[in-house]
Amino acid sequence: MSEEDQQTLLLVGPVLGPFQFAHNSDGRMHALLTVLAEFDSACRVKCRCQDVLSGETLVGCSMAAASRACVVQVAGLRLSRRYSMELIVNETEKQTKSQFHTPDSAGADMNICFLSSHSSILPEMGDFDILANIAQNLEKPWNGLDIIVHLGFRSSLANALQETALLLFFHFQYKQSSLWDLGSLEDRVLERYRDEYRTAWSTPAMRAILSSSINMFIGCSCSLLSETTAILAYKESRREEAVADSSEEWRDAVFYATKLALRVSFE
């Protein structure tokens, strides 16, 4: 298959960020939309927003590197309007389509939904699925929900933290025979954490929420630091031979893994 025939895959997004506001030359306020997306290969990304009533179309463009989040901005959105949004890759591939609305120009009160869970696991049969319910409501025009505020990192990094801490521990303990230098190892660890976000943000309900509403993320390191404490405490209780005589290297590895997790979470 030639490179021209290979389709670019959308890994994450689109994620709608908070609006920025400015005034036109005629004094009328308009909104600037910020959209985040990640693709599996380098590409040119175009975000096209169309007013569903007037048909007015606004476009923003950006270049995306492979497997790295890129940001596209679309300026000039009118207030109190509903828009359809479409991502177009390399001028031809249409990746996804969603709808959103801009704030009320009259300055009315805004409705905000707070989400604090970071688990991407689907609920058990019969349990109420709050994410699916929110996603379903967002499909309705003028659904009354203006902003989704995500408390925490929206992804559980517990398993990844344990894996990467062990990987770093063996590197610190056997530096002379390690297969990677520290810089290469960091890249592997960071990519492992990014995979957690790709998984958590790609469930059907979460992807619908992120692409159909304005999202704000308020990071909190408390849950991540509690995982760090739990890993250290677990090692002390087990006194495993692999790390019993290397407490200092193990602590260094756990704290280093935590630092890299925080780095990804605030990217």
Q: Which has more pLDDT, 228 or 68?
A: 68
Predicted confidence (pLDDT) per residue in 168-204, tens digit: 888 877 765 556 677 788 888 888 888 888 888 888 8
Are 142 and 101 in contact by the 8 Å Cβ rule? The answer is: yes
Output the pTM of the full model. Answer: 0.76
Q: Which residues pair with 22 in a beta bridge?
A: 30
Cβ burial 130-145 (10 Å sphere, 16+ → b, else e): ebbebbeebeeeebeb
Dist. CA 177–CA 27, nearest whole Å: 66
Dist. CA 38–CA 116, nearest whole Å: 24
Are 129 and 204 in contact by the 8 Å Cβ rule? The answer is: no
Q: What is the mean pLDDT of residues 153-174?
A: 77
Sorted by sequence, the CB contacts under 8 Å of residue 205 that are 6+ apart come out as 129, 131, 132, 134, 135
pLDDT for position 125: 57
Is 153's pLDDT higher than 60?
A: no
Is 127's pLDDT higher than 70?
A: no
Q: What is the mean pLDDT of residues 14-40?
A: 88
Binned at pLDDT 50, 70 and 90, residue 139 comes out as: confident
Sorted by sequence, the CB contacts under 8 Å of residue 165 that are 6+ apart come out as 231, 250, 253, 254, 256, 257
pLDDT for position 226: 60
Predicted confidence (pLDDT) per residue in 78-120, tens digit: 998 999 999 999 887 777 788 998 888 766 677 888 887 555 4
CA geometry: angle at 91 spanning 88 and 95, to 5°? 25
Closest C-alpha among 139, 80, 128, 76 to residue 106: 80
Type of residue at 110: M
Terminal alpha carbon distance of the chain: 34
